[in-house]
């Protein structure tokens, strides 16, 4: 089996072209799915017997929380690939992921807080998942701060890649330590989010929304990665020929 197609992916001009042609597909598909899931979740899904219509913010909260962790793993994998095989494009992909992941994390925190106000009566509860999300946001911000503090892009790439890898080893430790900390401190009232069985009618729009968020991530990464390539290759000849 020939691996040329794979190696070609690491070439900036080729990747630039492929990403350009893929981005609209991701974009329109994600828009369609998110609109469908929004209608399904807000209109068609039944109201929760306990939380009423308030639970519907779940359709934004849960997918963003899921995407915030997914993006961190993608970022760490890209950083690791860039560090081991010295592929500049992988570093560029990691750089493109960070702000998207931080935005998802922020969205998860904000929606969690808004959800918390009617359900818990306060804007913020030191709930395990909210706390892990907060720490994840700190990890993203640290990564972005480290990347921004180097003048030399190659050093920024490799230093932040080491940080991303250290971070991804730590994420499970942080997650479980916060869980353990929270179960010792929290009353059990919080577990109403942990309902073992969620009705299928509520679940379908959630899955649709997650799929829509994944596609949105594909669109956003494609766009950002193209931007990164433009910035990094601004003196390259292929770019002058292309424009």
Judged by the rule CB under 8 A, the positions of this chain that interact with other proteins are 83, 135, 138-139, 141-142, 145-146, 149-150, 152, 154-155, 158-159, 162-163, 165-167, 169-170, 173-174, 177-178, 180-181, 184
Pick 137 or 221: Cβ nearer other proteins: 137
Contacts of 156 (CB under 8 A, 6+ apart): 146, 147, 148, 149, 150
In whole angstroms, the minimum distance from the beta carbon of 189 to other proteins comes to 21
In whole angstroms, the minimum distance from the beta carbon of 77 to other proteins comes to 17
Pick 65 or 178: Cβ nearer other proteins: 178
What is the residue whose two structure tokens read 């794979």?
6
In whole angstroms, the minimum distance from the beta carbon of 91 to other proteins comes to 12
For residue 24, give the nearest of 225, 216, 243, 212 by alpha carbon: 216
Pick 181 or 207: Cβ nearer other proteins: 181
In whole angstroms, the minimum distance from the beta carbon of 108 to other proteins comes to 16
48: DSSP letter: B
Pick 40 or 104: Cβ nearer other proteins: 104
**Distance (Å, rounded) from C-alpha 78 to C-alpha 103?**
19
Burial (CB count within 10 angstroms: exposed 0-12, middle 13-18, buried 19+), residue 49:
exposed
Neighbour count for residue 209 (Cβ, 10 Å) = 24
Contacts of 133 (CB under 8 A, 6+ apart): 65, 68, 105, 108, 109, 112
Pick 141 or 204: Cβ nearer other proteins: 141
In whole angstroms, the minimum distance from the beta carbon of 136 to other proteins comes to 8
Pick 43 or 184: Cβ nearer other proteins: 184
In whole angstroms, the minimum distance from the beta carbon of 76 to other proteins comes to 13
What is the four-CA torsion angle of 26, 32, 33, 37, rounded to 10 degrees?
A: 150
């Amino acid at each position: 089996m020939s691996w040329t197609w794979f190696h070609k992916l690491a070439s900036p001009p080729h990747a630039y072209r492929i990403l350009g042609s893929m981005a609209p597909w991701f974009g329109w598909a994600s828009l369609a799915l998110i609109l469908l899931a929004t209608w399904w979740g807000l209109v068609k899904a039944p109201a929760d017997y306990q939380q009423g219509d308030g639970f519907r913010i779940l359709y934004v909260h849960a997918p963003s929380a899921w995407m915030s962790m997914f993006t961190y793993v993608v970022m760490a994998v890209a950083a690791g690939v860039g560090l081991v095989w010295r592929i500049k494009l992988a570093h560029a992909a990691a750089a493109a992921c960070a702000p998207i992941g931080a935005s998802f994390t922020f969205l998860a925190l904000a929606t969690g807080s808004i959800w918390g106000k009617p359900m818990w009566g306060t804007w913020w509860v030191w709930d395990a998942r909210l706390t892990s999300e907060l720490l994840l946001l700190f990890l993203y911000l640290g990564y972005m701060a480290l990347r921004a503090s180097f003048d030399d892009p190659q050093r920024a790439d490799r230093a932040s890649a080491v940080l991303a890898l250290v971070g991804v080893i730590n994420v499970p430790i942080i997650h479980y330590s916060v869980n353990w900390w929270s179960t010792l401190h929290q009353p059990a009232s919080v577990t109403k989010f942990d309902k073992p069985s969620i009705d299928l009618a509520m679940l379908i729009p959630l899955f649709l929304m997650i799929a829509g968020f994944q596609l949105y991530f594909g669109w956003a990464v494609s766009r950002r990665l193209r931007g990164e390539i433009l910035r990094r290759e601004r003196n390259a000849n292929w770019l002058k020929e292309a424009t």
